[in-house]
Structure 1
């Protein structure tokens, strides 16, 4: 258990705060920690007995015996008030008596809690009531009498102890093979951060029985447990990723930058004095791989990818938007280390707020900025934007993101890679591939023909060519692909002015995602496509400072 909780609890007990409220599902951990503090003379000066109450067991005295006639909460509170010796009284799930939803309110319990608060303050013996509940729910009458105490989720040390205990208990049986070294065990423990001890133990047990081997592949099973947390919270989406960095054609500068930060949340990175990276903002031409990169880096780093939908934050009751964002941030931090993907961030935070919403957007934006600046948990933020000119400058300054990358239209070398990725991904059956030779000559010809096309447009050209082949139930031919390219009008034509404006913005404000070795040396355009005039196309490598990583 982290020391801050024990220190905070000891101060509250010594100061004789009458009623404390701890929100947690882990009753056993709460009872164990409160008991450890209450009985430690070094922390509270006068050791105190610990009483526990639940609706099923009644009031259990420090010696383990149950006090008769205390099954109801009102009677148990009365018994606690009549106790003259120093003690800590832990009541479980008393929130059920406060009413709310379909539950009736018990006014006697609320009144006795107020009487108890006054009695514990004025009494000679040091007594404190600790309310433990999985939800934070208080009647308005008690808001001034109750102090809320944060109870953290298990630390990496505690989760690692559970993992080591399970390994020791199962490695000698011969049925489970342990195939993780010291770093692998650290990764498994970090992957389970944000889970309760019971959830972590369940995840490790499932990993062991899945195939009889505990290895790094089982991190995915641990992430499945985190998926449950995210789904229950409702504000974030747990995104399945099936692509890696190698599935992205080009963008080598960006990919090198990301690969260098793989594992930077581990202890070996801390030995170098490195902090966990904050995040990256990826802007540029639509359809050139920004969102795909967010998914690929999650797969490459072996971390869960959580998607924040700004629209969900602003949905709901008036005044709930700020709380929605705080809940989303809390969920992300509970799942750390992880990636938080904010897609098209300019649509949620453009201008930092609107004057027509009573300042709600500004407050939500301010909360997000403060968290980005001060966050300590390893939550790597991947934000993507198509129209970055609308973003407020305070979001773009250093300290929010580690770097801003500009993704331009792919160069000739990048287009070859993109064509290869999409053709090879779909031509997995010989009957479909036919005699089409996917080699350097074909890729070079297609790359020249698709000058000025985005990665998404190249993918759609492959799909369109396959539809032509499918309609005649034959193998794909080169002319299917070339016809699809010629018949398509790319974004670089329909949105030429907008792309030029975005490039002008990024020229000195962002780093080029394309590697230097992939830049077109001449910058000229090819006239290979008869449906597109060269003067309609902007240069293919104009945006972003040319910095190598």
Structure 2
């Protein structure tokens, strides 16, 4: 949190305490940091008017006044709640890890404790002196009986300034000791602090410490060490995954319309964009024929924009093993916002949000979907969402409404020009050894010939054709030949044949709902060249010539 955000949290907390909200819930891993902020609020007369005593409770120490020892008998939760009932001075009671009595993560709820909490409710509201209870826990778990009585307060992860302060303290301490060589300019310190965004203060401190001890120095090159530590920590959540990509946007063949759209929005989250009154772009939904480069585009955007790429696994959001589904989504959103600007990639989004109308999960899917849609519509942090989808029939209609995504792009079967580019990319990528190249030359005539033979083939199929041809050459210990590629093409049955009806259905949907990722001039050229698949709708194959999907909009 920036200083203004800390101030906002303190103001919100003080208002809730003054309004005598009986039960508040702060879900955070940063117990010490949360307690420090709570302590500063309850002692600040300017915020709370009536200063209050601060008590903390844990199952190991019992109920203890701030800075003092707890009592043995109050380790029992019922006795601790009785202590709150009998205490007759202005006070705030912080209950640590009380979720274990609420039935979190498949544990059995303690109904006697829950009943006692409900019995306390009118007493807290009518108490002569104000008293409030704050539950602090890394897990958000509220039993159904208390759903209407507990108010949840968001406690954000530390922001750039807080992490920078931790870094400065560590730098000063190590400069005084002389054990670690510090070679950081103010700009380098900023880069390291930004690299640690999304971590708790404790995790950030550990990451900086690791960078220092790794080679006995701390300099600008340690950004990668911080990011690696960050990847490991995020990986523990099992929901968000860091994707490291060294792809370039030029490594994606074709799709020039989509590329131009993306290039125009590069750096739009920086302060320079504010001069034009521009908001940060929300994201894109990329749908289309399987194997045509949708996932590749997501990785290329990260490399082009030089932003971290996080993949959200919707399957694990709904996993009971990881924890509460609603809490999983909430924490995933908070984490990706904390490290913004960033790119959030949701692959095959239709699989995660299919079957929303069914009641088999007691409405959990609908609530998760609603949370995600609301965030997409109202988010202010620069998080660019890249969602990919193959089966458009499963996409909920609400997802396509204006305001969720900036644009919906349709990726069709590659045109002749695009197929030439894809062949060129994969041949150049793999043909490095002069003995493997031999007499084979990547000329425009060769690319033209291969593109003509692969009408109706997707990019993934073209890649496998190149690999298959190289395996033929490898097995005979010779250089690559054109006939190897021709044979591989002949032995491949393209998706445009095996999934003709599905592709036709995708195109019909895209004609009115999506923008073509391929520019109009390339599509027209494709239609002029195409004749092989010009067939009637009743045929078993795909009508490629006149059924190109996606609206003809050029950027």
TM-score (norm 1): 0.81
**Cα gap change, 1:274 to 1:499, in 2 (>3 Å):** same
Shift of 1:71: 6.7
The answer to whether the 8 Å contact 1:307/1:340 transfers is: yes
Matched, 1:443 2:444: no
Query: Is the counterpart of residue 222 in structure 1 residue 223 in structure 2?
Result: no
Are the equivalent residues in 2 in contact too, given 1:283–1:385 (CA < 8 A)? yes
Distance in 2 separating the partners of 1:447 and 1:141 = 65
State the SS of the aligned residue for 1:370. Answer: helix
In structure 1, what is the equivalent of residue 476 of structure 2? 472
Asked if 1:521 is matched to 2:522, the reply is no
Q: How far apart, CA to CA, are the structure 1 residues paired with 2:299 and 2:267? A: 17
TM-aligned CA distance change 1:370 to 1:130, over 3 Å = closer
**Alpha-carbon distance, 1:483 to partner:** 1.9
SS at match of 1:395: helix
Q: Partner of 2:549 in structure 1?
A: 543
1:333 paired to 2:316: no
C-alpha displacement of 1:248:
1.0
Match of 1:245 in 2: 249
| Structure 1 unpaired stretches of 5+ | none
CA drift at 1:171: 7.7
State whether residues 159 and 189 of structure 1, in contact with CA within 8 Å, keep that contact through their aligned partners in structure 2: yes
Question: C-alpha displacement at 1:45, in angstroms?
Answer: 0.9
CA contact (8 A) 1:91 1:129 kept: yes
Q: CA deviation at 1:70?
A: 6.1
- Provide the residue aligned with 2:265 in structure 1: 261
Q: Distance in 1 between matches of 2:546 and 2:214?
A: 49
Task: Provide the secondary structure at the position in 2 that maps to 1:66.
Answer: coil
Alpha-carbon RMSD across the aligned residues, in angstroms, is 4.1
1:161 and 1:286, CA in 2 relative to 1: closer, same or farther beyond 3 A? same
- Distance in 1, matches of 2:482 and 2:248, equals 28
Question: Deviation per CA, 1:103-153, whole angstroms, max 9, x where unpaired?
Answer: 898888778766766665554333334332222346677667654433232
User: Which residue of 2 is the match for residue 463 of structure 1?
Assistant: 467
Q: Which moved more, 1:28-37 or 1:266-275?
A: 266-275
Query: 1:472 and 1:526, CA in 2 relative to 1: closer, same or farther beyond 3 A?
Result: farther
- Counterpart in the other structure of 2:29: 25
Match of 1:416 among 416, 420, 426: 420
Q: Which stretch of the first structure deviates more once superposed, 101-110 or 507-516?
A: 101-110
In structure 2, distance between residues paired with 1:26 and 1:395:
34
| Equivalent in the alignment of 1:281 | 285
Contact 1:351 1:391 in 2 (8 A): no
Indicate which of 404, 407, 416 corresponds to 1:403. Answer: 407
- Please give the per-residue CA displacement for 1:497-525, whole angstroms capped at 9, x wherever unaligned: 55455444434532222246655637333
CA distance in 2, matches of 1:441, 1:459: 19
Structure 1 contact 307–342 (Cα < 8 Å) conserved: yes
Partner residue in 2 for 1:177: 183
The 8 Å contact of residues 351 and 392 in structure 1, kept in 2 or not, is answered as no
Is 1:66 matched up with 2:69?
A: yes
Of the candidates 15, 18, 22, which is equivalent to residue 19 of structure 2? 15
Q: What are the superposed Cα offsets for residues 131-190 of structure 1, whole Å, 9 maximum, x if unpaired?
A: 3222234667766765443323223432343345455666896724337838x93x6555
Structure 1 residue 315: deviation in Å? 6.0
The 3-state SS of whatever aligns with 1:521 is helix
* 2:387 paired residue among 383, 386, 411: 383
CA shift for structure 1 position 43 = 1.1
Q: For 1:144 and 1:352, locate their aligned partners in 2 and report how far apart those are by CA, in whole Å.
A: 25
Q: Retained in 2: the 8 A contact 1:345–1:384?
A: yes
- The 3 A distance-change label for structure 1 pair 466 and 162 is same
Change (3 A) 1:500 1:438: same
Query: Could you tell me which of 286, 296, 299 is aligned with 1:295?
Result: 299
- Contact 1:519 / 1:541 at 8 angstroms: preserved in 2? no
8 Å CA contact retained: 1:192, 1:223? no
2:163 to 150, 159, 174: 159
Change in Cα spacing, 1:15 to 1:441, as seen in structure 2 (3 Å) is same
Distance 1:522 1:141 in 2: 63
Distance in 2 between residues matched to 1:25 and 1:170, nearest whole Å: 27
Please tell me whether the aligned partners of residues 306 and 332 of structure 1 are also in contact (alpha carbons under 8 angstroms).
no
Cα distance in 2 for partners of 1:167, 1:411 equals 56
- Are 1:512 and 1:547, in contact at CA under 8 Å, matched by a contact in 2? yes
**TM-score normalized by structure 2?**
0.80
1:324 paired with 2:325, answer yes
What's the CA shift for 1:267? 4.3
1:267/1:427 Cα in 2 relative to 1: closer, same or farther (>3 Å)? same
